[in-house]
Amino acid sequence: MKVVIIGAGPAGLTATYQLSKQIGRQVESVQLYEANSYVGGMSTSLRLWNQIVDLGPHRFFSNDSQVNQLWFEIVESEYEMVKRLTRIYYNKKFFYYPLKPLNTLKNLGTWEALRCVASYIPYKMGLHKQDTDTFEGWVTQKFGKRLFNIFFKTYTEKLWGIPCDELDADFAMQRIKKLSLSEAILSAINLIDNKKHKTLVDEFAYPKYGTGYVYQKMYQKCVEMGAKVYLQTPVGSIKIDKQKVQGIVLREGKFIPADIVISSMPLSLLVLQIPDLPEQIRQEVAKLRYRNTILVYLNVDSSYLFPDQWIYIHDKDLKTGRVTNFRNWLPTLYGEEKTTILCMEYWCYDEDVLWQMSEDALINLASQELYKTGLVSHHTKVIAGKVIKLHRSYPVYFKDYKTILEPVQDYINKIANLYAIGRYGAYKYNNQDHSIMMGIKVVENVLNNAQHDLWAINTDYDTYQEKGSIKEHKWI
């Protein structure tokens, strides 16, 4: 059996690794093709100014035993547990996330806090009903209109570029789940266990040399076990005959035969390149949208700025949506360096002005916005900047997107031996653990005929995302 995997992100690399352990020694049996010169996808790490940074903030947590076992198998003892500290920047003040009663009360003021509670009570009592199929309706039902406007609306609309009433509730159910205002308050005063909600995980495992260290090691192990990994080798299309996959065609035109194809390339690109694609499917898949990310790294002349790993920016006057401080992860990232690297995140579509801006213009914008937040004093110098643009980094959960996605999924399911996995490949807003799980489960389907529904991962929340934590592993 010859298996070809497209894409060396967490999902594709995991599938390659799992296959390599079982059939990788057979000649040319496992082949991985990656368009970029590096592995890890959005979970890669890079060196800037003699320090290590990720593509924005990444953390690992999972209660799934298979996922944790694989992660520890790869990273071994080269990790530490990190205490999470994140805050929300709103109205020129910083709110702890998860909420802390005294901090929230102080920042909002007693009158505003009472108004938030008063706004929530009618929804809690069932007096006001919302369209809970949208993000705005779902969150308002859980927190009330006033808290929705304060802590959810601005950041969410920056991230997705559409109004919250046009965003599907799936994003809220995935990221906020069953948490409500009452639970948040009880959690804040330690009357319930806040670790049952992924958004509230207060400790996570982190590799000593960046998130990408995991996937670099996984890549090396795949090669050692016999897998053939081809970097800077983009795939052009999939070859199909009689509803069965025959192999792939590289962008350069070379045909690579395969019995199985596992794809983590963007779902829309995969489907649109299928020969003789039905017009209805073509029209549906063309409606799927991806959001771009612009990362602006700033090297700031200070060894201490603020204590958070990252901060959410809920301010309409600032275009940035999140600021990551890599000085607050692990000392192994910065070593002897005395500066702090911050990452300012911006999100946009291809047609937006931001996406067309030059590197110098983006660095200037990020620097000015950083000073406006008050996180950095105007007397503290930004020494250097670096811009990285990530195309199609987030699948957009626009309202009723599932009615468009489902016929596309059904079409893929009818093509024998073709599997779509990963954040891009499955059109799922995955964390690392979801993509790793997809890689594990697809190999069980391929080798053991396990019949896992791969589309259900990161959809069936109770089954796949019931809790979110990871306990420190003891090595002997």
Round to whole Å and give the CA distance between 20 and 32.
11
Residue 470 belongs to some domain of the structure? no
Query: Which two structure tokens, joined as six digits, stand for 257?
Result: 């035969």
Answering whether pTM is above 0.85, one says yes
The mean per-residue pLDDT over the stretch 123-150 comes to 84
Q: Strand 30-33 vs strand 228-230: parallel, antiparallel, or unpaired?
A: parallel
* Structural domains counted in the chain: 3
Residue 51 belongs to some domain of the structure? no
Cβ-based neighbour number of residue 389 at 10 Å: 17
Looking at 289-430, which runs of residues are DSSP E strands? 290-300, 310-314, 322-325, 340-348, 382-395, 418-420
Signed CA dihedral, 157, 161, 162, 167: sign only: negative
Give the number of residues written for the chain: 476
Q: What whole-number percentage of the chain has pLDDT above 90? A: 72
- In this prediction, residue 364 carries a pLDDT of 98
Residue 224 belongs to some domain of the structure? yes
The mean per-residue pLDDT over the stretch 346-359 comes to 97
Whether 410 and 268 map to the same domain: the answer is: yes
Residue 201 belongs to some domain of the structure? no
Whether 279 and 419 map to the same domain: the answer is: yes
Whether 34 and 131 map to the same domain: the answer is: no
Cβ-based neighbour number of residue 165 at 10 Å: 14
Whether 172 and 258 map to the same domain: the answer is: no
pLDDT tens digit sequence for 234-250: 999 999 999 999 999 99
Q: What are phi and psi of 349, to 5 degrees?
A: -105, 170
Name the DSSP class of 257.
E
Whether 365 and 318 map to the same domain: the answer is: yes
Contact call for residues 227 and 213 (beta carbons, < 8 A): no
The mean per-residue pLDDT over the stretch 54-67 comes to 89
Whether 329 and 447 map to the same domain: the answer is: no
Residue 57 belongs to some domain of the structure? no
Using the 3D structure, point to which of 170, 194, 218 is the last residue of a domain.
Answer: 194
Whether 303 and 437 map to the same domain: the answer is: no
Domain residues for the domain of 248 are: 3-46+63-80+208-288+398-464
Q: Which residues pair with 81 in a beta bridge?
A: 205
Question: In CATH, what number is assigned to the domain containing residue 310?
Answer: 3.90.660.20
Residue 476 belongs to some domain of the structure? no
Residue 55 belongs to some domain of the structure? no
Residue 54 belongs to some domain of the structure? no
pLDDT value at 282 more than 70: yes
The mean per-residue pLDDT over the stretch 189-200 comes to 50
Query: Which two structure tokens, joined as six digits, stand for 367?
Result: 């620097």
Closest Cα partner for 250 from 34, 434, 11, 9?
Answer: 34
pLDDT tens digit sequence for 74-112: 999 999 999 999 999 999 999 988 767 788 888 989 898
Query: Which two structure tokens, joined as six digits, stand for 10?
Result: 């967490």
Question: In CATH, what number is assigned to the domain containing residue 213?
Answer: 3.50.50.60
Place of tokens 């991985």: 32
